[in-house]
Amino acid sequence: MSVEFPDLPYAIDALEPHVSAKTLEFHHGKHHKAYVDKLNAAIDGTAYDDQSLEQIILGAHDASDTGVFNNAAQAWNHTFLWHSMSPNGGGEPQGPLAGEIGSAFGDATGFRAEFKNAALGQFGSGWAWLVRTVDGLEIVTTGNADSPLVDGNTPLLTLDVWEHAYYLDYQNRRDAYVDTFLDKLINWKFAAQNLEADRNAA
């Protein structure tokens, strides 16, 4: 069994003009695919071969199996990223998610400010996340390939702040990229689904 390289959940040009087809051709078609290909080459014939991607991430982390962990986590993180953006994104969270955002950050504006601050504050490559912890919603960042899954937290949304995610469209302007994500692309419906699944699992 090998880990699947998933299609994008929308057309390659669906996020234009905010994220170009050219960016997605490289980011999904080259970067994401390379993580999956390297992972599958690394786990072929090993005990990881029959495991889910989540199991591989947690097992490789526990075993300090860095090469497998990095490629497995990047495979997972990128699939999660594609769903964290939508051609019809932006706006405000609805329903129970809006309530939890309010409890954690005051309101959607408070969330926005804290998320932007975190995404800009991540030095070098990494990820900004909205996660659900036992104490409620939090914004966290992870460096390079690292994943909130290893801390037992449930990711609701993510943004890739590796330069490969934005350089073709925004060059060095990470702040403009983060603003565009928050204003035009953020997929609150996906976050709400992840919140509901986590509440039902608890």
Q: Does 48 bind Fe ion (CB under 5 A)?
A: no
Does 76 participate in binding Fe ion (rule CB under 5 A)?
no
**Where does this chain touch Fe ion (CB under 5 A) — which range of 99-107, 164-172, 173-181, 186-194?**
164-172
Which residues neighbour 53 within 8 Å (Cβ) at sequence distance 6 or greater?
3, 72, 75, 76
CB of 30 to Fe ion, least distance (A): 10
Site string for Fe ion, 122-161 (x = CB under 5 A): --------------------------------------x-
Is residue 25 within 8 Å of 61, Cβ to Cβ? no
Q: By C-beta, is 97 or 186 nearer to Fe ion?
A: 186
**Which is closer to Fe ion, CB of 140 or CB of 165?**
165
* 166 sits near Fe ion (criterion: CB under 5 A): no
Closer CB to Fe ion, 51 or 86, in the complex? 86
Retrieve residue 123's tokens. Answer: 């030095």
Residue 78 Cβ, how far from Fe ion at the closest point, in Å?
6
Contact between residue 165 and residue 23 where contact means Cβ atoms under 8 Å apart: yes
Residue with Cβ nearer Fe ion (127 or 188):
127
Which one, of 113, 81, 95, lies nearest residue 182 by Cα?
113
Backbone phi, psi, residue 17, to 5°: -85, 5
The verdict on 162 binding Fe ion (CB under 5 A) reads: yes
- Please, what's the b/e burial string for 133-151 (b: 16 or more CB within 10 A of its CB; e: otherwise)? eeeebbbbbbeebbbbbee
> Between 23 and 154, whose beta carbon lies closer to Fe ion?
23
- Output 111 or 162, the one with its CB closest to Fe ion: 162
- Residue with the CB atom nearest Fe ion in the bound state: 160
DSSP output for 71-128:
HHHHHHHHHHHHHHB-TT--S---HHHHHHHHHHHSSHHHHHHHHHHHHHHS-SSEEE
Interface residues with Fe ion (CB under 5 A)?
160, 162, 165
